[in-house]
């Protein structure tokens, strides 16, 4: 077993067989959702989150091993590789250790030290370094004066020797390791204002400092942004006295040339080591803060995508606006656009009866059940207009405020243009608002996850890393829910395990040319969807009312024989599956059945679950959106008022809750529970319906403080 496998076993608390199997499955090109769902016997039922973390760590460790090999090869080519150095490099746990060990052998650009070496001053540096020759340094330096080499004075010779020694100290791997540890454990992260009189959102950081080990991720990201926007100067304060003491003990033996060597240490630290270590500390803090923010963003995104769909309802999307009016679009229960219009309630002058009549016509003619009002510009006025009109409808109609984040991105996208070539951008936005209420997952997958707006500081982090992480989140959600192959859009199909955009388009083209799919075997007729892609995607694509009722379940075609064998053993048939079957079996019976059907116990248990509720949507268990029939404004809020709201976003410091006043209120982490809360995600999720009490309202600053400690 190699080092990578041993490391993964220890870090993830896995058995050797699990690590070997997962490595093989990943290297064979299987997707994480497929491995998590259909290879439980081989992984020990590892879930998709653990598998993604495993895969990320595997990538890092493999890159680390590649770097070690390159470093060893380079040092060996120089003829300087010793057994001890080889062992140190091979046993290094992180990349920075490898780079520290490689530093003395790395091809350097011309430095003060290399220039001094070219002048022949390295022997002088060695004499000073060894601290054995008791000859005064000035006398030693006299021997190295050479007009030919450009060393004109004793001072120039000593200066060059000190430059060589400073670089030698800086290149010492153990020295860097100790200084890095001292800085990390005892250093402070500080910031000050570039202009103390300047107005900004960073005033709390104008004179700020805290230990590096306690610096919270959201504060690190705020400092980075403040520095980028030139309001702040951010620095790492190292424990310099402790570092000087250590360097003195490490490199100065006795009193001989102590003063000169102290100058060397000071120069090595201030000029070469400190800036590098500070950059490392800042980069490490930023990376950890980014990773934390990406994790929170991902968890928020999961909860947003997995919100309960509103099925069987006709929804009117209401995209608010002033000058150009409000764009309306009616989407029926099958997500088809039935009607659209532009109305101008003229919020500034009150001439709105014509607009009201058009809204009433659209609602009654299309039997609209719910109006989805966007939360953008003119949302407050639009909500009031809708509420004023509700009593005029002949049948009950409610409304919901829908988050518009990302709607404009989708509206201007190629996909939206192809789907609605005759609609303008705003009308497409109204369609998107209605659809994201009907089925959040199906609509939101059309938008870059970074634009959905459920994170913090997302624009300040590594965009490639963020995009990869969020794409993985969307992929997991789509495959967890499953996709109706006969109605799914290209963007939705693109997130299905084993399917890329080209295959997704080919599926839609096949559907349009040949009619709906009636059997999963037909997937193999789709251009470029070969046996491997079929293996990866078949279990996640559903066919409602197909020839085989198993095609409407998450049972993979490779397990159909086992499913049919189970039915036969219980005296049932495939026809019985359509209505759902609750198959009872004791643990002993399940074990015997799994053995006789030649499948693992986890696979058998999954088959039993799927047969109980074919076509079941796991999102059905999530709380539904709050449907409203009245309007509330910030001025209506009073301290102590208890309201119901929907969690819209979660950050490290609290949760933002929509209580229906167009300004989300903040439940600070300290107000989430009477018990200690380590992170808001431990208590609430995006989409949760929660009961809150108003603590304070600042209308001018548009701030609402809420508590869940009722």
The DSSP secondary structure of 320-385, one letter per residue, reads --STT-EEEEEE-TTS-EEEEEEE---TTTT--HHHHHHHHHHHHHTT--EEEEESSTTHHHHHHH
Q: Are strands 326-331 and 337-343 parallel, antiparallel or unpaired?
A: antiparallel
The verdict on residue 459 lying in a domain is no
Instruction: Taking residues 331-346, report their average pLDDT.
Output: 91
pLDDT surpasses 60 at 675: yes
DSSP for 424-446 reads -HHHHHHHHHHHHHH-HHHHHTT
Q: Could you say which DSSP state residue 687 is in?
A: T
Q: Indicate the helix (H) or strand (E) that contains 400.
A: strand 398-402
| Coil/strand/helix, residue 245 | helix
Cβ atoms of 331 and 434 closer than 8 Å: yes
Q: How many CB atoms lie within 10 A of CB 155?
A: 11
β-strand pairing of 188-193 with 232-237: antiparallel
Q: Could you tell me if 565 and 656 lie in one domain?
A: no
615 located within any domain? yes
Q: Say if CB 241 and CB 218 are below 8 A apart.
A: no
Cβ 149 vs Cβ 119: under 8 Å: yes
Residue 133 has pLDDT above 90, yes or no: no
Cα torsion 439, 440, 443, 447 to 10°: value is: 180
Tell me the C-alpha to C-alpha distance, in Å, between residue 259 and each of 120, 247, 263, 265: 23, 13, 6, 10
What is residue 401's three-state secondary structure?
Answer: strand
Check pLDDT > 90 for residue 40. yes
Domain boundary among 554, 586, 621: 621
The pLDDT tens digits of the residues spanning 19-30 come to 999 999 999 999
| Distance separating alpha carbons of residues 275 and 281, to the nearest angstrom | 10
**Is 283 among the domain residues?**
no
Instruction: Note whether 572 and 531 are same-domain residues.
Output: yes
Tokens of 11: 């870090």
How many angstroms separate the CA atoms of 692 and 664, rounded?
A: 12
- Report phi then psi at 594, rounded to 5: -60, -40
| pLDDT more than 70, % of the chain | 99
Q: What is the pLDDT of residue 347?
A: 62
Helix (H, G, I), strand (E, B) or coil at 683: coil
CA distance linking residue 277 with residue 275, whole number of Å: 6
Beta-bridge partner residues of 76: none
CATH number at residue 519: 1.10.150.310
* CA proximity to 558, closest of 572, 579, 574, 537: 537
Cβ neighbours of residue 670 under 8 Å, at least 6 residues apart? Answer: 677
Say whether both 574 and 661 belong to one domain.
no
Alpha-carbon distance of 250 to 152, in angstroms, equals 32
Mean pLDDT on 122-146: 89
CATH assignment of the domain containing 411: 3.30.420.140
For residues 639 and 696, the answer to whether their CB atoms sit within 8 Å is yes
Question: Under a CB-based contact definition with an 8 Å cutoff, are residues 329 and 315 in contact?
Answer: no
Which of the listed residues 79, 94, 121 is the one where a domain comes to its end?
79
Query: Rounded distance, CA 164 to CA 260, Å?
Result: 13
CA nearest to 655, candidates 306, 300, 401: 300
In-domain check, residue 299: no
617 and 652 assigned to the same domain: no
Q: Are residues 563 and 648 in the same domain?
A: no
Q: Identify the helix (H) or strand (E) that includes residue 193.
A: strand 188-193
Q: Does the residue 91 lie in any domain?
A: no
Average pLDDT over residues 501-527: 96
SS3 call for 579: coil
User: In sequence order, what are the beta bridge partners of 207?
Assistant: 192
Kindly report the backbone phi and psi dihedral angles of residue 332, in degrees, each rounded to the nearest multiple of 5, phi listed first.
-80, -175
Q: Where are the beta strands (DSSP E) in 584-680?
A: 642-651, 654-658, 665-668
Let me know: does 144 contact 124? Beta carbons within 8 Å: yes
Q: Phi, psi at residue 226, to the nearest 5°?
A: -60, -35
For residue 182, pLDDT beyond 70: yes
Q: What confidence tier does 551 reach under pLDDT thresholds 50, 70, 90?
A: very high
Residues 594 and 645 in one domain: no
- The per-residue pLDDT for 321 is 86
* Mean pLDDT for the stretch of residues 237-246: 97
Q: Is residue 179 part of a domain?
A: no
140 in any annotated domain: no
C-alpha span between 233 and 206 (Å, rounded): 9
Instruction: Kindly tell me if the per-residue pLDDT of 687 is higher than 60.
Output: yes
> Residues 330-336: what's their mean pLDDT?
93
Number of domains present in the structure of the chain = 4
Average pLDDT value over all residues in the chain: 91
Has residue 349 got a pLDDT over 60?
A: no
Do 617 and 666 sit in the same domain of this protein?
no
pLDDT of residue 348 exceeding 60, the answer is no
Calculate ∠ Cα 542-547-549, nearest 5°: 55
Boundaries of domain holding 562 = 508-621
Residues 425 and 338 in one domain: yes
In this structure, of 330-334, 361-365, 657-661, the range with the lowest mean pLDDT score is 657-661
Same domain, 595 and 669: no
pLDDT value, residue 636: 79
Q: Is residue 478 scored above 90 in pLDDT?
A: yes
45: left (phi over 0), alpha (psi -120 to 50) or beta: left
pLDDT value at 350 more than 60: no
Q: Are both 602 and 651 inside the same structural domain?
A: no
Q: Has residue 623 got a pLDDT over 80?
A: no
Is the model's pLDDT at 278 over the cut of 60? Answer: yes
* Integer Cα distance of 695 and 667 in angstroms: 9
Domain annotation covers residue 419: yes
Residue pLDDT, tens place only, 100-110: 999 999 988 89
Residue the block writes with tokens 């709201």: 645
Q: Residue 167 and residue 684: Cα distance in Å, rounded?
A: 53
Same domain, 697 and 610: no
Structure tokens at 318: 């209401």
Asked whether residue 111 carries a pLDDT value surpassing 90, the answer given is yes
Instruction: Answer yes or no: do 605 and 654 share one domain.
Output: no
Angle at alpha carbon of residue 472, lines to 469 and 476, rounded to 5°: 145
Q: Which of 621, 645, 663 is the last residue of a domain?
A: 621
Contacts (Cβ under 8 Å, ≥6 apart) of 107: none
Which residue in 102, 264, 283 sits closest to 180, CA to CA?
283
* Whether residue 632 has pLDDT greater than 70: no
Q: What is the pLDDT of residue 241?
A: 96
Task: State the helix-helix crossing angle for 353-365 and 379-389, rounded to 10 degrees.
Answer: 70
CATH number of the structural domain spanning residue 26: 1.10.10.650
Neighbours of 314 (CB within 10 A): 19
Percentage of the chain surpassing pLDDT 90? 68
The band of 254, judged by pLDDT with boundaries at 50, 70 and 90, is confident
What integer is the mean pLDDT of 599-610? 94
Closest by CA to 265, choosing from 157, 159, 166, 176, is: 166
Instruction: Give the number of other Cβ atoms within 10 Å of residue 396's Cβ.
Output: 8
Contact 26, 58 (CB under 8 A): yes
Contact 275, 235 (CB under 8 A): no
State residue 659's pLDDT score: 85
């Amino acid at each position: 077993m190699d080092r990578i496998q041993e490391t993964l076993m220890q870090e993830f608390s896995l058995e050797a067989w699990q690590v070997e199997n997962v490595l093989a499955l990943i290297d064979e090109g299987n997707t994480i959702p497929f491995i998590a769902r259909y290879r439980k016997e081989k992984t020990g039922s590892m879930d998709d989150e653990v598998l993604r973390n495993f895969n990320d760590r595997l990538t890092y460790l493999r890159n680390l091993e590649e770097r070690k090999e390159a470093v060893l090869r380079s040092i060996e080519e120089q003829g300087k590789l010793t057994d001890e150095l080889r062992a140190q490099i091979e046993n290094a746990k992180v990349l920075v250790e490898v780079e520290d060990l490689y530093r003395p052998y790395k091809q350097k650009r011309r430095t003060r030290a290399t220039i001094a070496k070219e002048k022949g001053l390295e022997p002088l540096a060695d004499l000073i370094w060894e601290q054995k020759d008791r000859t005064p340094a000035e006398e030693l330096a006299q021997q190295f004066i050479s007009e030919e080499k450009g060393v004109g004075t004793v001072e120039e010779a000593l200066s060059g020797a000190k430059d060589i020694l400073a670089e030698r100290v800086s290149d010492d791997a153990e020295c860097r390791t100790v200084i890095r540890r001292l800085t990390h454990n005892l250093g402070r992260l500080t910031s000050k204002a570039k202009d103390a009189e300047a107005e900004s959102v960073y005033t709390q950081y104008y004179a700020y400092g805290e230990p590096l080990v306690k610096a919270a991720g959201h504060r690190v990201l705020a400092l980075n942004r403040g520095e980028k926007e030139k309001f702040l100067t951010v620095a790492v304060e190292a424990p310099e006295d402790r570092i000087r003491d250590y360097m003195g003990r490490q490199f100065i033996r006795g009193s001989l040339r102590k003063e000169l060597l102290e100058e060397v240490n000071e120069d090595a630290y201030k000029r070469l080591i400190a800036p590098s270590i500070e950059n490392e500390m800042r980069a490490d803090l930023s990376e950890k803060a980014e990773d934390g923010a990406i994790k929170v963003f991902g968890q928020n995104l999961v909860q947003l995508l997995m919100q309960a769909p509103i099925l069987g309802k006709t929804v009117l999307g209401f995209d608010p606006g002033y000058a150009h009016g409000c764009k309306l679009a009616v989407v029926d229960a099958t997500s088809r656009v039935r009607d659209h219009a532009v109305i101008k309630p003229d919020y500034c002058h009150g001439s709105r009866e014509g607009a009201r009549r058009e809204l009433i016509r659209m609602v009654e003619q299309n039997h609209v059940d719910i109006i989805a009002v966007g939360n953008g510009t003119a949302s407050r006025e639009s909500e009031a207009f809708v509420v004023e009109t509700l009593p005029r409808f002949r049948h009950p109609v409610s409304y919901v405020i829908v988050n518009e984040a990302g709607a404009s991105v989708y509206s201007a996208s190629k996909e939206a243009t192809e789907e609605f070539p005759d609609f303008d951008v705003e009308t497409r936005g109204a369609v998107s608002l209605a659809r994201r209420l009907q089925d959040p997952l199906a609509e939101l997958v059309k938008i870059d996850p970074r634009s959905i707006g459920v994170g913090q500081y997302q624009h300040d982090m590594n965009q490639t890393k963020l995009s990869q992480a969020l794409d993985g989140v969307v992929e997991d959600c789509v495959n967890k829910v499953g996709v109706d192959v006969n109605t799914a859009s290209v963007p939705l199909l693109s997130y299905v395990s084993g399917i890329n955009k080209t295959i997704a388009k080919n599926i839609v083209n096949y559907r349009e040319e040949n009619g709906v799919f009636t059997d999963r075997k037909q997937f193999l007729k789709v251009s470029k969807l070969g046996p491997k892609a079929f293996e990866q995607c078949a279990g996640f694509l559903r066919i409602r009312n197909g020839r085989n009722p198993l095609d409407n379940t998450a049972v993979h075609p490779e397990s159909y024989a086992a499913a049919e064998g189970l039915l036969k053993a219980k005296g049932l048939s495939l026809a019985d599956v359509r209505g759902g079957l609750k198959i009872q079996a004791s643990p002993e019976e399940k074990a015997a059945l799994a053995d006789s059907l030649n499948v693992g116990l986890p696979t058998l248990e999954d088959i039993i679950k799927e047969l109980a509720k074919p076509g079941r949507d796991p999102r059905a268990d999530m709380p539904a959106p709050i449907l409203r029939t009245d309007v509330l404004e910030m001025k209506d809020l009073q301290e102590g008022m208890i309201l119901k709201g929907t969690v819209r976003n979660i950050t490290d410091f609290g949760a933002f809750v929509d209580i229906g006043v167009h300004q989300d209120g903040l439940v600070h982490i300290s107000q989430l529970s009477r018990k200690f809360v380590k992170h808001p995600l431990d208590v609430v999720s995006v989409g949760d319906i929660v009961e809150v009490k108003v603590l304070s309202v600042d209308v001018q600053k548009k701030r609402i403080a809420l508590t869940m400690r009722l």
